[in-house]
Amino acid sequence: MYVCICNPMTEKQVKQVLSLGVDSTAGVFRHFGHKVRCGKCVPYVREMVDDHKQQQQAGCGGCGKCQGGEHANEDSPETPAYGVAAE
């Protein structure tokens, strides 16, 4: 099913990107080189990101520091913050 019509993205594509470690709505759009247009897809993409994060946390006991099934290096630099206008 298409998640976004303005920027053709399917649910399957978004899930694949999340499994690669993308952890934000803005990151999903950046991965594909898209920018939010009408914004109607943002709540659904955000929900998919949140659901994925919850599944990741549940898999390790809920520490919130897991990435791809392994604990993130706490000393590693953070990903630069980019916002999506509709966030």
Contact 23, 49 (CB under 8 A): yes
Q: Report the pLDDT value the prediction gives residue 49, as an integer from 0 to 100.
A: 96
| Cα distance between the two ends of the chain | 22
Q: Report the pLDDT value the prediction gives residue 75, as an integer from 0 to 100.
A: 45
> pLDDT-derived band of residue 85, with 50, 70 and 90 as boundaries?
low
Q: Report the pLDDT value the prediction gives residue 56, as an integer from 0 to 100.
A: 84
Distances in Å between the alpha carbon of 11 and those of 4, 43, 75? 9, 13, 33
Contact 70, 45 (CB under 8 A): no
Q: Report the pLDDT value the prediction gives residue 84, as an integer from 0 to 100.
A: 60
Q: Report the pLDDT value the prediction gives residue 77, as an integer from 0 to 100.
A: 47
Q: What are the boundaries of each domain within the chain?
A: 10-65
Q: Which two tokens stand for residue 74?
A: 């706490």
- pLDDT tens track for 38-56: 999 999 999 999 999 998 8
